[in-house]
Structures are given as structure tokens and as C-alpha cells.
Structure 1
């Protein structure tokens, strides 16, 4: 599985370079005149373009393929040129290209441009077919049967849609997505059936203020004195080791495992708090507040004529944050 992650990372980065080169050649560099033949030539040598070096640009029905579909059709040529990619399941390679498609969709929606993957950001792969579960054993194509901790058994009527294998600091985890079209929609209570309501307000000094007067404290798993000291010691040990050395990798692994334990405690605490809240009442009312936006510093406003500062709403933000910290609950 470690080898798979290395090869998938290389394939992802190559596909991203291929699309960047396609854009540069097609929309920026454009056509040019060949000196010898004195004819217009177009230097389109990438995979994700028509008449490229590899990949089929058109379907049998005459419709043009997208960039991701062209790169998926080029996977057999990749396996011929790089035989070691035959050890990876074909659906895993296809999902790797679709992950790049999703990154470009996010970019077109206004998010950041897709970035190249490294060992810390490429830590998972997905199967879509061929997965079987039998008790505490799971079968993954090309990886065969292996034991795993089955935290929740899969009902017999459900169908496995996809399986994601994710590498974390303390080992590999398996996420199984299941589906059953026969399951009815979860029933929603009518207003006449709701007898009790609890209101929740997020605070800064406390985690949640409840309308019944109860308060849930912030656990501070990562910001208490002992944890901060241990994290500072482990980080110092990493910085003292030589870069790209085996000892530095071992020290980084210890730091990552320490941070993973903190994240596990925080996630478990969130589930415990959610279970405690849903037992309070039949319905829950939440306040729609942008806490992160309220904590940001407002941009200064200037008077164009005099150059003096104008009110920018910072005082209102400070007053709202102060009220969130002082209010014992919502009534």
C-alpha cells in the first residue's frame, strides 16, 4: 500500500503537469510557423488534447471526451510503458484521475488551483468494485484478503459502493460507503409532536451555551499546559535532526502520532457532546453566526478628502464577542 501511494502520487502529479502544458500550448503559446516547411504548426503534444501523444479524444458516438476521460483512456498505455503500474487496480487509477477532475471543478468554482501532491498530502486511494467483507476480513482487489477491525458490521441488504483506504499516523484505516435504495426517508416530526426545544449558542470562552442554563466547557486537548510542553519537545527533536535522514523521519512519526491522538480525543469528545445534547429535547435551535468572521480584524476605512480613519464596525464585533463570552445561556 505504501508503494501504491508513491505510484499514485507520481501519476497524479504527471496528469496535473499534462493539463498545465495543454493549457500553455493551446491558449498561451498557440500556433507558430515552422521555418523549414513555412507552414503553420500547432505544438500539441500532450495527452489531454485532440491529436495528442496519447489518449483517445473522441468517443464512438462522435462526442468529445473531457480531459479526465482522455487521461483515463491513456492508462493502458501507461501500464505498457511502466509495467509496475499493473500491480495497482484499474479502478484505483481511474479514481486517482477523477480526484484531479474534482480539484479542477473546485478551482472553477472559485477555490485555489490544484496543487502537486507530496507524501503528506497523498495518503488515500479508493476502490469502486471487487471489495468483499467477511467478518473481520476484507478483500481488496490486487491486495487480496487481510484482517481489519470491523467496528460496525454491514447489514446484509446494503450494497458496498466504494471503499477508501487512508493512511494515518498509527496505521491504515478503511472507510466503506454503503447504500440501500429500499431504506425509507428518515421521518421528520411535525410541530405538534415537538414538546421541548433547546437553544444552543456557540461561545469563545465555552464550547456551547444551552438555553436550559447548562454550559459545555472546551476540553482543550491541544492547548493545556502539559500537551503544549510535550508537543514543543517533540517538535524540537524533529528540528534538531538532519533533513531527509532516517532519524528525522522517526522523530516526525512520533510527533504525527502524538497529534493524531489529540485529534482522536477531540473527535470522540464531539460525538459525546452531540449525544448529550440530543437527549435534552425533541428539537434543537441554533444561531447562525459566523464566528471566524467576527474574530477577524475589520479592514480600515479612510476618508478620501481628509485621509482620516472612519468607523469600520470593529466596535460592534468586539461588543458581540464580549456578549458571547458573558451570556450564561439563551432564554
Structure 2
């Protein structure tokens, strides 16, 4: 099992300048390697139905793959001696990042989904570098020894769990400072709770009127942190647009804007963790819809959907359930709001209709307190019934197999 812990770094002025210099050089190397790959790609691809009879034939050369680009690093340090200041494994990690970005564009991920064409990064967009291998003794108290940077103070607001091993360490630059991100590994597979109570199954339906509604009738209000911060964000955004490009005042305004956006993101993340903890402390199995959030974020409701952060919440819920030995079960979202939770008959209703009243069996989930999402309560019951229809033992076995497979990959 892999988890990530993030800590704030207390850097000296010299260490801060050195990290910024590293990020600038690594950004240049990333862009150079990515451009080299695209240069080969453009010169060697030729669709059969679009190849002219007379054309310029570029000089043939081998495909710049991960290993061939990795071999260029020793020569890079000879032609550009200032790259000797960067740790060798940090430079190798840049080659790996280029490979992953290019492979997602050409081949796709493990599910076959291809991403867009990777772009060359500007210096302010390249903010992280990684040490792929870290020694176990690298962290002594609240001080970490980063190779070629030196000893750096760390704000250890929580200890590293017993039995976990530090695999990688990443230094990232954010608008409010520098952070250290540990990737921790525990080879023991978390055991699923053996005595899961089938009665402690709950279905949740996420929405935009209420953040979520449970099958027990409880509802959690949606905080809308971005909506509430829009007035302040609008003021700072105008301040940025009025400043002269390239000036120091514009950089100050951009930093203020970044701090305000980070504040909104931190509030939302804290809300997601607290909501997930509340559900998992009360229930053994939490069923939710398998939503296509990416598709919903392209609709007219995009701002509200992204402000709610459904994808982030479901990821946190699933991760915390696995760590606690509980289950977060995704079910099909088809007709969860349309079907009656009592008789199963389909009761068509438009989105503005916020109550459920079945003409077949007389089931009605209308409440006096408007605008409570009563149709969401009906949907949550349907989600719970679909999860209860699946064998809990089967879900446990599938989840255990997935965890064993994930551990084997590491």
C-alpha cells in the first residue's frame, strides 16, 4: 500500500535560491527532451492515404525512447557543466516524466484512454522535482538530508506511521512556500473487516442542492467555497489584469491570487476528509454512484460540479475505506433518480422536480422543508439497494484481489 504525507519545509535563503535554480534548469531539460520526441514523431509519421509522391525525406534516426534519452545525461553535464549541481537521480526522473507524458499521448493509459498532446512547460508551471530513492535514515527528527541541497528543517505536524518505508521524496513549490511530499510504502495488505454488518450499508447520492443525501434521510449541506470566494477573487483578478506584464507589482498580485485559490482548495479538501470520516465511522459499507465527473464538468453545471469536488471526495472516501478495512462500493447511476425505491417502477421526472411521488405504489418522499432534495433521498435508497443486491463477500474478494495486484505492481 502506498500513501503520501506532505510537510512544510523551512528553507534558508540560499536553499530557496538553489531549489528555484534547479527547477529552472529541470524545466529547460524537460522541454528539450519533449521537443526531441516530437521532432522524431513529426518526421517519421506518414499516413498511407496522405503521403505525397514527391516529398522531403528526413534523415532517419532511432526513436528517442527512455533509455536513449537517459544515456544523453552524462554528455549533458560535459556540454553544460552547471547541470552537475543537480543530483543525478533527479535528472533521470525528468526523463521518466517525459516518457509518461508522451506515452499517454501516443498509447494511452492502462485503460486505453489517451490524453492530449503534452505542452512545453513555462518556468512557473514546473514546480516539482523528485528523488526516486531515499535512504531510511534521511529523516532525523525534524531535519531531512536532501542530496546536494543539504539539511533542511521540516515541520512534522504528524509522525510517519510505524512499519512504513520512505520510497520517494518530492520537493514542490506552491504559492505559500515549499513542501516535502513523502511516498510511503507498507507491504502488508490491509485486511477487510471480517465482521461487516449487512445492516450497516448506506447509499449516498451527491448533488448540487445538498452535497450528499444518505439512504437514512440525512443530508450534508454543500459549502460552495468557490462561490463564496468569488467576490474576493474577482477583485484580485482585476488587480492582476491592470498591472503591467513583467512588472514586480503584477507578480505580487499573482501571488495574492494564488493564495486565495489555495485557501479555497484547502477548505474544500478539509470538508471532504471530515465528511468521509463521518460516513466511515458510522457505516461499514458506503455505496455511491459511478459518476462521469469529467463529462459533467463540460456541461452548463460545470462551475457548481467542480466547486463541489465530487471526484476528489469519492477518491478520498475510497482510499480511507481501504485503509480502515471497510468498503466503498460504486454502482451504476442509471435511473437511480427515476426509479421508485419502493416498487422499482420508473417514474420520469425532470431535474427541477425535487420530490418523488410514485403513482404506482403511492410511495411519496415529499417533505415540508423546501428545498430539501427528496428525489435525492429516493436515489440514495436505490443506490443502497443496488449495493445490497451485490454479494458483500464478492465485493470483499474483488477488492482484496485488486489490492494484491496493486501491491505486486509496486
TM-score class, shorter: 0.7 to 0.9
Relative distance call for 1:274 and 1:67 in structure 2 (3 A) is same
Partner residue of 1:43 out of 46, 56, 59: 59
Tell me the residue number matched to 2:94: 96
How many angstroms apart in 2 are the aligned matches of 1:154 and 1:162? 14
Which of 70, 73, 81 is the aligned partner of 2:71? 73
Return the alpha-carbon distance in structure 1 between the equivalents of residues 140 and 174 of structure 2.
24
Q: Which residue of 1 aligns with 2:279?
A: 277
Shift of residue 189, structure 1, vs aligned partner: 3.4
Shift of 1:178: 1.8
Contact map agreement 2:37 2:64 (CA 8 A) in 1: no
Pick aligned residue for 1:237 from 226, 236, 239 = 239
Q: For the structure 1 residues 133 and 294, does the alpha-carbon distance in structure 2 shift closer, same or farther, using more than 3 Å as the test?
A: closer
Q: Find out whether 1:210 has 2:214 as its counterpart.
A: yes
| Corresponding residue for residue 188 of structure 1 | 192
Equivalent position of 1:148 in the other structure: 154
- Per-residue deviation at 1:186? 1.6
CA change 1:142–1:192 in 2 (3 A) is closer
CA change 1:206–1:101 in 2 (3 A) is same
TM-score by length of 1: 0.77
Structure 2-normalised TM-score?
0.63
Match of 1:15 in 2: 33
Provide, for residues 170-191 of structure 1, a one-character-per-residue CA deviation record: whole Å limited to 9, x for no partner: 011111112233x2x2222357
Residues 10 and 188 of structure 1: is their aligned pair in 2 closer, same or farther, counting only changes over 3 Å? same
Larger radius of gyration: 1
Q: Aligned pair 1:126/2:130, yes or no?
A: yes
Indicate conservation of the 8 Å contact 2:40/2:64, yes or no. Answer: no
Partner of 1:54: none
Structure 1 residue 257 displacement after superposition? 0.9
* Map of 1:309 onto structure 2: none
Gaps of 5+ in 1: 31-39, 51-64, 299-315
* Larger displacement relative to structure 2 (150-159 or 134-143): 150-159
1:112 to 98, 116, 119: 116
**Aligned pair 1:200/2:204, yes or no?**
yes
Offset at residue 85 of structure 1 (A): 0.7
The secondary structure found in structure 1 opposite 2:270 is: helix
Number of residues of Structure 1 aligned to a counterpart in Structure 2: 283
Contact 1:294/1:321 (8 A) holds in 2: no
CA shift for structure 1 position 219: 0.8
Q: Which runs of 4+ in 1 moved over 6 A?
A: none
Q: C-alpha offsets along residues 61-88 of structure 1, whole Å, 9 cap, x if unaligned?
A: xxxx961211111101111111111111
Kindly tell me: are residues 297 and 208 of structure 1, through their superposed partners in 2, closer, same or farther at Cα, counting changes over 3 Å? closer
What's the offset of the Cα at 1:258?
Answer: 1.1
Tell me how far apart the structure 2 counterparts of residues 159 and 25 of structure 1 sit (CA, whole Å): 45
Q: Quick one: distance in 2 between partners of 1:297 and 1:236?
A: 27
Q: Residue 259 of structure 1 corresponds to which residue in structure 2?
A: 261
